[in-house]
Amino acid sequence: MKKIYLLLTLATTVLPAAADVTLDSCRNMAVRNNKTIRMAEENLRSAEYYKKAANSAYLPGIDFTGTYMYNQHEIRLLGEDAKLPTMSFDPASQTYQYNILKGPTGEPITDPATGSMIPTEVAVIPKEAMSYDIHNVFAGAITLTQPIFMGGQIKALNEIAGYGELLAKASRNSLTQNVVFAVDEAYWLVVSLKEKQRLADSFVNLVDTLRFNVQAMLDEGVATKSDLLTVEVALNEAKIAQTKVGNGLSLSRMALAQLCGLPVNTQMELRDEELRTAYTATAPTDVNLNEVYSRRQDLEILRQGINMLQSREKLAMGEMLPKIALIGAYSFSNPNVIDGFEKRFGGGFSVGAAVTIPIWHWGGNYNRYRAAKATTTASRLMLEDTEEKVSLQVSQAQFSFDEAKKTYAMTVTNLSKADENLRQAQLAFKEGVLTTNDVIGAQTAWLKANSEKIDAEIGIRLCETYLSKVLGNLIY
């Protein structure tokens, strides 16, 4: 019972969705499951993070640096014990005099080897007293850096990050429009082939009925074997066309399922497979091109790209301007030399400012600035050229839509005439006025008129979708 209940639940939740799928639900599934759009969403998320990262450049940065070093030797400031001469106060001269060895005459006695005077007293500094153990050295610093003026580069980086986010959003929207348009094409192709499958079935029944009548006439001796063979050839051709339409319909359903992100063998019955209502859409006659330009996502990508290039100009200009930063640090080490040489951690604070002024770089910075300006100018020209092409595209889409409407109206008229022609041909054939070839010709003309009407009706729907895409209204 539990298994039966589970199967019934699945049937009630899955089958209705597959049995009546609308164009809007196909668009939803395609936009939700398309990997290209998901990649664009991730790129947009990345651009948002870059914007936050660029904004943090205004704030002070705090860093910690720690080092350890092992040294093979210790520091020895003296190669041997140092012997320093001493001085005594002379009351007669009221000055300090060196304690040196003097002769009987009172003259200093010099060392014959060096020629220097010989002290009578020395102060000894042992070699070990000026030796320091630096085998294991630990050091570290906590540094705070606050930018004061960086030549406008931080602001330019924030502008670039902001425009990058808008560009990523426009790219996502443009991809979405392309996916929606592709889904519409696949959707209406399925509808078109479904109608043509019905038409093919009707045509096969029509020719088969003619074959039955000709067979009856042949049995009665009022028709020839050639007439029957002609009808049978037409019937076989109709069945071949019926098979081709069926195969095309199956493939088009697979293509639509693939666009929707579903398995290709998913069976979907579309709500619009019954083309029973006349299509009466009208194209907008008064189009404001400036509004079209503002809605077009491909133009938005170019515009944001130009904004980013303008900010890159500011970035290049900042390379030629001075930069000022406030620096504060707390440094410590072990051993430390704050109060002599001590083998323990000791440190202190320091505050200062750093100024960098570019003076001469052989024109490198200035040429980079000029290159950035030239790139911006080229992008502006590309935008102007694209806007001109969009203007022509809008006109072409409007003409195509109007042409599709007129074509549809003519196919409706032709179909009514083809219906009447077929009826007259069938009546004339029963009375023996027309031959089987004449009836087959009328049936073929009827088939062609119906097929052209289906193509025209689907075409007008696709033209409306394309016009919406060209006008920038296909925002999904």
Shared-domain flag, residues 115 and 140: no
- Measured CA to CA, the distance from residue 440 to residue 242 in angstroms comes to 17
- pLDDT of 4 reads 41
- Is 419 inside a domain boundary? yes
- Is 430 inside a domain boundary? yes
Mean pLDDT (the chain, rounded) = 89
**Comparing 4-18, 52-66, 174-188, which segment has the lowest mean pLDDT?**
4-18
Residue 64 corresponds to which tokens in the numbers above? 């910690």
- Measured CA to CA, the distance from residue 195 to residue 201 in angstroms comes to 10
- Is 178 inside a domain boundary? yes
- Is 63 inside a domain boundary? no
Q: What is the mean pLDDT of residues 18-31?
A: 86
- Is 282 inside a domain boundary? yes
Q: What is the mean pLDDT of residues 196-204?
A: 95
Angle between helices 436-471 and 364-430 (to 10 degrees): 150
Shared-domain flag, residues 415 and 430: yes
Q: How confident is the model at residue 3 (pLDDT cuts 50, 70, 90)?
A: very low
Count up the domains in the chain and report the number.
Answer: 3
- Is 458 inside a domain boundary? yes
Nearest partner of 390 among 289, 286, 301, judged by Cα: 289
Shared-domain flag, residues 102 and 219: no
B/e letters for 75-109, b = 16+ CB within 10 Å, e = fewer, are eeeeeeeeeeeeeeeeeeeeeeeeebeeeeeeeee
Shared-domain flag, residues 174 and 110: no
pLDDT tens digit sequence for 312-368: 999 999 999 999 999 999 999 999 888 888 889 999 999 999 999 999 999 999 999
- Is 15 inside a domain boundary? no
Shared-domain flag, residues 437 and 303: yes
- pLDDT of 250 reads 95
pLDDT tens digit sequence for 219-267: 888 888 999 999 999 999 999 999 999 999 999 999 999 999 999 998 8
pLDDT tens digit sequence for 412-422: 999 999 999 99
DSSP state of 362: T
Shared-domain flag, residues 123 and 255: no
The CATH number for 466's domain is 1.20.1600.10
Query: Which domain range does residue 93 map to?
Result: 77-132
